[in-house]
Amino acid sequence: MPHRLTRWGLGLAAGLCLAQAPEGPRILRPADQSALPAGPLSVIARGDEKSQLLLDGKPLEAKRPFATVLTATLAPASGPHTLTLATAGAEQKVQFFAGPKPPAGFQPYRPHPPAAATCDTCHAVKDGEWGFKGTVLSENCFGCHNQKTFATKHSHNEETLAECQLCHDPHGSTEKFHLKMTREIACKQCHG
Q: Does 181 bind ligand HEC (CB under 6 A)?
A: no
Half-sphere exposure of 18 (CA within 13 A, CB side): 19
Q: Which of 114, 186, 124 is nearest to 156 (CA)?
A: 186
Closer to ligand HEC by Cβ: residue 54 or 187: 187
Judged by CB under 6 A, the stretch of 78-86, 87-95, 96-104, 113-121 that binds ligand HEC is 113-121
d(CA 52, CA 62): 8
Sign of CA dihedral 153, 156, 158, 161: negative
Contacting range for ligand HEC; rule: CB under 6 A; set: 33-41, 86-94, 95-103, 132-140 = 132-140
Point out which residues bind ligand HEC (CB under 6 A). 8, 12, 21, 28, 42, 44, 46, 65, 69, 71, 112-113, 116-117, 119, 121-123, 130, 137-138, 140-141, 143-145, 149-150, 153-157, 160-168, 170-171, 177-178, 183, 186-187, 189-191
